[in-house]
Amino acid sequence: MNTAKRAKCGMRILTGVCLFALLLSLISLIVTKFVYDSQFPRYDRHDETVMAGLRYADLAEAYPRQLFTFPSAANQLQGYLYGQGQDRGLVVVAHGIGGGADSYLPQITWFVDQGWRVLAFDATGSFDSEGRTTRGFPQVLLDLDALLTYISAQEDLSGLPLLLFGHSWGGYAVANILHFGHDVQGVVSVAGANSAHGMILEQGHNLMGPFIYMQAPYLWLYQRIMFGTAASLSADDAIRNTEVPVLLIHGTQDEMVQYTGSSIVAAVRQDPPAHVRLLIRDLPGRNGHNNLFRSTEALAYIEQVNQEYRELYEQYEQNIPYAVRQAFYATVDRARAQDLDETIMAEIHAFYLDCLNRH
């Protein structure tokens, strides 16, 4: 074969390899989009008649709230303002994925009882906010940025010291929002992930094993296409590049945001800045992802309720009729089941007061 033919043959092979690689990358990106989008559906309000959470209808008289909406990209999001007239400061609550503002009624009402004005919201695709889906992990960060921008334009809110509280998805958001330059006096991030990419890889590993790392470049690219630079932000960088006081709370047995993995705590605890405080929960039964705030009494009562429910489950051979479930939950003392650990809440309250004293 002469040189020209060899070169032509080589070029065909190279072209074939490039086309194959391009096709493989396109397939991988399509698979990534399908899998990623499936993890971020819309979350409508839960059926409160078959769960033990607090219901706002039971609290409305004691805790009146003002409803408002604000824009986040193409969607109108639902906000809730409590403690109107209280001027100690404004605590903004960011919820976890799969829930909404009302999922944090125990914490919201506790803050109101301490004299704070409290503002909570439903993120895109959650509860009473617009949005066909929750879109992706960075979406809550963009929603929080939109909310804080809205607050800065409200005469009755913009003059109050601004304090942030977030759990899980919201914990990621309230720490990463420090990249955006809002006038924040203090941040409490509970069970928060350090970055969207790290969290997605950790959850992907739980679903797909080591195969997820082959998809990592496509996950990074897809999130970047969806959310721009917000997809690449990390709480560690945000915290270290500001002097805003931050309280990080995390459980050592967190099953959702791993304490030694994707958590903010894992990123900062070896060399925490002076303005960062760590509150590590290692008490059995209160060191996971969703049980951090429950009192000893609440944990004992929940175990009692769970045992009664298991007996009902066996009685109906794993298929409890809806009406029976409603009757069961009608007997549950919701306030008792959601009773908060006063120690951890007092720590948060004291931290917020310290933040105000710095100014």
How high is the pLDDT of residue 206? 77
Structure-block tokens of residue 297? 């009494």
Is 74 within a domain?
yes
CB 151 within 8 A of CB 89: no
305 and 277 in a single domain? The answer is: no
Structure-block tokens of residue 79? 């906000």
Residues forming beta bridges with residue 276, ordered by sequence position:
246
Q: Report the domain count for the chain.
A: 2
Question: What is the pTM (predicted TM-score) of this model?
Answer: 0.92
pLDDT tops 70 at residue 180: yes
280 and 142 in a single domain? The answer is: yes
Q: What CATH number should be reported for the domain holding residue 165?
A: 3.40.50.1820
Is 260 within a domain?
yes
265 and 170 in a single domain? The answer is: yes
Q: Categorize the per-residue pLDDT at 8 as very low, low, confident or very high, splitting at 50, 70 and 90.
A: low
222 and 312 in a single domain? The answer is: no
pLDDT tops 60 at residue 21: no
265 and 301 in a single domain? The answer is: no
Stretch 1-21: mean pLDDT: 61
CB 139 within 8 A of CB 201: no
Strand 276-281: give its sheet, edge to edge: 65-72, 75-82, 117-121, 90-94, 162-167, 186-190, 246-251, 276-281
Sign of CA pseudo-dihedral 262, 265, 271, 274: positive
Q: Which of 23-27, 163-167, 193-197 has the lowest mean pLDDT?
A: 23-27
pLDDT tops 70 at residue 51: yes
Q: Categorize the per-residue pLDDT at 205 as very low, low, confident or very high, splitting at 50, 70 and 90.
A: confident
pLDDT tops 70 at residue 10: no
Is 20 within a domain?
no
Give per-residue pLDDT as tens, 294-316: 999 999 999 999 999 999 999 99
Is 119 within a domain?
yes
169 and 157 in a single domain? The answer is: yes
245 and 332 in a single domain? The answer is: no
Is 29 within a domain?
no
Long-range contacts of 33-39 (CB under 8 A, 24+ apart): 33/222, 35/204, 35/215, 36/136, 36/200, 36/219, 36/222, 36/223, 37/133, 39/203
Cα separations in angstroms, 220 against 33, 97, 139, 224, 326 = 11, 20, 15, 6, 44
Which letter does DSSP use for residue 120 in this model? E
Nearest to 81 by CA among 147, 149, 178: 147
Range of the domain at 123: 40-294+343-357
How high is the pLDDT of residue 22? 60
pLDDT tops 90 at residue 9: no
111 and 150 in a single domain? The answer is: yes
267 and 335 in a single domain? The answer is: no
pLDDT tops 60 at residue 288: yes
302 and 172 in a single domain? The answer is: no
172 and 315 in a single domain? The answer is: no
98 and 127 in a single domain? The answer is: yes
pLDDT tops 70 at residue 62: yes
How high is the pLDDT of residue 37? 87
CB 245 within 8 A of CB 358: yes
Higher pLDDT, 19 or 151: 151
Is 95 within a domain?
yes
